[in-house]
Amino acid sequence: MGLHEECRAMRKKIKHEFRDILCAYLMSNGTAGWRQIDIYDRFRHIPKEEIMLELEALWAEEKVQRFTVDPKTIVWRATDKMND
């Protein structure tokens, strides 16, 4: 396996691990969920674009719900499908 393939495999593994950690974090606050700003703060070492890609993917899979509380506050919470 060449260096390029090794890097691609490592990125895929890191992305999968981040998704697992993000899911656990979302489940940790139950039905109250987490404000998007708190998610950004918790994972400040991950670019916001990558966080949003994962949240949107989980939303498309119906594993999270997204609530717009006001123009500045979005809340994300895990659904029962998160455990599937």
pLDDT tens column, 10-49:
666 666 689 999 999 999 998 899 999 999 999 999 999 9
CATH code assigned at 29: 1.10.10.10
> What is the pLDDT, as a whole number, of residue 63?
96
pLDDT for 7 beyond 60? no
**Comparing 6 with 61, which gets the higher pLDDT?**
61
Task: Spell out a b/e string for 16-44, using b for 16 or more CB atoms within 10 Å of the CB, else e.
Answer: eebeeebbebbeeeeeebbbbeebeeebe
Q: Which of 2-11, 19-28, 75-84 has the lowest mean pLDDT?
A: 2-11
> What is the pLDDT, as a whole number, of residue 5?
74
Q: Per the structure, how many domains does the chain have?
A: 1
Could you tell me the residue range of the domain that residue 63 belongs to? Answer: 3-83
> How many Å from the N-terminal Cα to the C-terminal Cα in the chain?
34
